[in-house]
Structure 1
Amino acid sequence: MEVVLVVLVVCYLIWYYFIRKKPNNTASKKTYSDRDSKKIYRKNQADSFIVLDIETTGLKQETCKIIEIGAIKINNINDKEHQTFHTMIKIDNKLPKKIKDLTGITDSDLEDGITLHEALVSFSEFAKDNVIVAHNAPFDLGFIRHNMKQEGIEFSISKAIDTLELSRDVFPHLKSYKLGALADYIGIDKGNAHRAIDDAKVTLLLYTTCLELLKKK
């Protein structure tokens, strides 16, 4: 019996150290061929587009409010001057403390803002039938579309490009794809982080940087 036990132990050790498939440490890392890079570039490239960022009172579009909209219109990606859109939006309640701490926005800032309906009508006209570029686009556009519907405002875009997903394709090795972390990695000045127009500027630079890197691959 002891001999059988010893044989089994020896067999297990041989299997464990010599036969068992060792994990591949590079298996989780994405790699892209030139063909993949060109495909990603074509999917995300746009000559004219609008970069969008919003600030809200929370994460749920059904119960939280939009408090700031910032956007930059690019009619030609090679032009140096661009149109901007920025507005603060009044809300009925006081801002949650965590939002004040995160954004630096105060209740008095919103008191000087315009109504949600006015803001959405103006943004709808600014962005009409354009390509929208945003970081975590489903979040920003989800809020915009939900509130446009609630306010009875027609809103149409031609395409949405998400720089969060684009960044994951271009920088597959990073641990964080938050806008601030990507700005630090690339070397982009964040300005006033978590403010709509400043985050839109960072998103614009992130987007153009990603496209340039894809073109070079």
Structure 2
Amino acid sequence: MTSWVAIDFETANALRGSPCSVGLAKVKEGRIVEEWSSLIKPPDGHDHFDAYNVGIHGITADRVRDAPGWPETLERIVQFAGDTPFVAHNAAFDIGVLADACRASGLPVPDLRFACTLVVARRAWTGLLAYKLPVLADALGIELPRHHDAGDDARAAAQVMLAALKRQGTAALDDLLAVHRIRMGSYRGGARQGCKYWGATRREPSPDADPDADPDNPFYGLTICFTGSLPDMTKAVAAKRIAALGAWTSDNVTRSVDLLVVGGIKPHQLAPRATKTGKLAKAERLRDSGHDITVIDDEEFYELLAVAEN
């Protein structure tokens, strides 16, 4: 498995079935050999553009007015990839976009396999505090001209996976996943199996969280802390939503916290001469001492929330 295709989508709104652009980067024998990207006219009923999404990627309804629709785009994606697996950074989101766009268009989800560079990176480079694509690109010396440009993000995701393969000393994607005890994700007959790490014992959700939540969602069993302000959502609402997903909220950063979500920080919220919140500083100290705590920003939190709730 030395050939695969990195894929990235941008969406018009909070609905995952609203792709408005796609980027692809084909890898063979350790190098990128072909790239393709396109704007997409989202499926009917999913084609409104939210200001939040437009602010992230800059794509508007006017720009996609004459773009190919989802059926034509899907055909090109399938032809481009052939029978090779897909790779994406936070693949649960990107493969979810592909699947939901098919459903919104009345099309079957094609059978496919996929691997996630986010899952791989957290096992390959354990010393990083955060694993967003721009953070990884900077840490690994990968050029990322425009984050949230689908073509640039697909190329960067391909380079992250190539760096992980090189670090492990293997050219085969399945060998890399096996070393890190990561399961390849798939769609078969419309049924999804996620790409995930199988090396840790599954934790039970907090008594305050929903015990019947989907254990395959990215928040299940986690203890989460928030610092700063979330756009368009109070922390109380965020805590309620993640509780429904089997997670629990902590008011402070302790060794029981798995995930710190960093929202917007206003200068008056910081201590004198401080450049970061106390919670973030403590998370960094815990990370330096060997505690496995992940830090994400509000944008990534919303992306994971969209994956988990759909």
Alignment TM-score, normalising by the size of structure 1? 0.69
Structure 1 CA distance for aligned equivalents of residues 141 and 108 of structure 2 = 39
Q: Which runs of 5+ in 2 are unaligned?
A: 171-310
SS in 2 for 1:129: coil
- For the pair shown, the structure with the greater C-alpha radius of gyration is 1
What letter matches 1:152 in structure 2? Answer: L
What letter matches 1:112 in structure 2? Answer: D
Residue 26 of structure 2 corresponds to residue 73 of structure 1: yes
The alignment-based identity, stated in percent, is: 27
Q: Which residue of 2 aligns with 1:205?
A: 159
8 A contact 1:70–1:87 mirrored in 2:
yes
Structure 2 CA distance for aligned equivalents of residues 58 and 94 of structure 1 = 7
The correspondence of residues 140-155 of structure 1 with structure 2, limited to 5 A, is 140-150=94-104, 151-153=106-108, 155=110
8 A contact 2:12–2:48 mirrored in 1:
no
What letter matches 1:95 in structure 2? Answer: F
Q: Which residue of 1 aligns with 2:221?
A: none
CA RMSD of aligned residues (A): 2.2
Alignment TM-score, normalising by the size of structure 2? 0.50
Q: Which runs of 5+ in 1 are unaligned?
A: 1-45
8 A contact 1:120–1:153 mirrored in 2:
no
Structure 1 CA distance for aligned equivalents of residues 74 and 128 of structure 2 = 35
Structure 1 CA distance for aligned equivalents of residues 61 and 90 of structure 2 = 26
Q: Compare relative contact order (CA 8 Å, sep 6+) and give the higher one, 1 or 2.
A: 1
- Give the C-alpha shift of residue 206 in structure 1: 0.8
The correspondence of residues 60-99 of structure 1 with structure 2, limited to 5 A, is 60-61=15-16, 64-74=17-27, 76-79=28-31, 82-91=33-42, 93-99=47-53
Number of aligned positions between the proteins: 167
Q: Which residue of 1 aligns with 2:142?
A: 188
SS in 2 for 1:67: strand
Residue 68 of structure 2 corresponds to residue 114 of structure 1: yes
- Alpha-carbon spacing, 1:207–1:144, altered in 2? closer, same or farther (3 Å): same
**Greater helix content:** 1
8 A contact 1:51–1:71 mirrored in 2:
yes
Could you list the per-position Cα deviations for residues 10-55 of structure 1 after superposition, in whole angstroms to 9, with x for gaps in the alignment? xxxxxxxxxxxxxxxxxxxxxxxxxxxxxxxxxxxx3100111111
Residue 12 of structure 2 corresponds to residue 57 of structure 1: yes
Q: Which residue of 1 aligns with 2:217?
A: none
**Greater strand content:** 2
SS in 1 for 2:169: helix
SS in 2 for 1:70: strand
